[in-house]
Amino acid sequence: MLVGVRNKVRPEHTALVVIDYQNEFCHEDGVFAQAGFDVAPFRAIENDLALLVNRARKAGVQLYWVRCTYSTPGNLYLSPVFMEHAIRCWNGRYSRIPVCAEGSWGQRFYGKVQPDPNEAIISKHRYDAFIGTDLDVALRAKAIRTMIVCGVATNICVETTVRHAFCLDYYVVVPTDAVASWDKTGHEVALANIRYAYGELSTVEEIVKCW
């Protein structure tokens, strides 16, 4: 049993998992900003997230980069269930407007937060980074016990992945200053849910001090 952030984030059994920090969601020219979403909270975590990534590398923590791949020719990945929701709730994104198309500018990681060539990139087609991916296999191959989960959006892909991670018996630590959402209330509720039922909240400063 690992108790406390310091024990949970020991480099030999910890992975830093960066969720969806992509141009499509974070950049002012991405489809969500162009649709009127406030992406300033996403950009605001860039420096803290970059610091966390760099310190993780120096400490020998395994890094896993999760990115969305949604739109494809022939719509290979988006089911009628997903598309019905997109049509009802996302004002043409995913249905008429491509989102995170394979190889596109929008799919690339944003700003200073970039993977090194030797770090694993996991492509996902749903909010959950475990569904239909090899993330769990990759983590278990390195005997990972703790996931530090960061990125965007707190109340969608981050929270969904954290819930699944807990159910797979990973310890989860979420740095509150390295996750963000367009929706302040959704962000706060998601963090409260995580703290109550799925993991431990921390900060970038507290985590890097442990390394």
Output the DSSP codes for 164-206. HHHHTT-EEEEEGGGEE-S-HHHHHHHHHHIIIII-EEE-HHH
Residue 2 pLDDT: 86
What is d(CA 188, CA 183) in angstroms, rounded to the nearest whole number?
9
- Determine phi and psi for 182, rounding to 5 degrees: -70, -25
Measured on CA atoms in the order 118, 106, 135, 3, is the torsion positive or negative? positive
Q: What mean pLDDT is reported for the chain?
A: 92
The domain locations on the chain are: 5-210
Lowest mean pLDDT among 10-19, 60-69, 97-106, 127-136: 97-106
Residue 95 pLDDT: 59
pLDDT tens, residue by residue, 192-204? 999 999 999 999 9
Q: How confident is the model at residue 5 (pLDDT cuts 50, 70, 90)?
A: very high
| pLDDT greater than 80 at residue 86 | no
Tell me the pTM.
0.92
Percent of the chain with pLDDT over 90: 75
Percent of the chain with pLDDT over 70: 94
Residues in CB range of 38: below 8 A, 6 or more apart: 182
CATH number, domain 5-210:
3.40.50.850
Query: What value does the mean pLDDT take over residues 162-168?
Result: 98
pLDDT tens, residue by residue, 87-120? 776 666 665 667 778 889 989 999 999 999 999 9
Query: What value does the mean pLDDT take over residues 57-85?
Result: 85
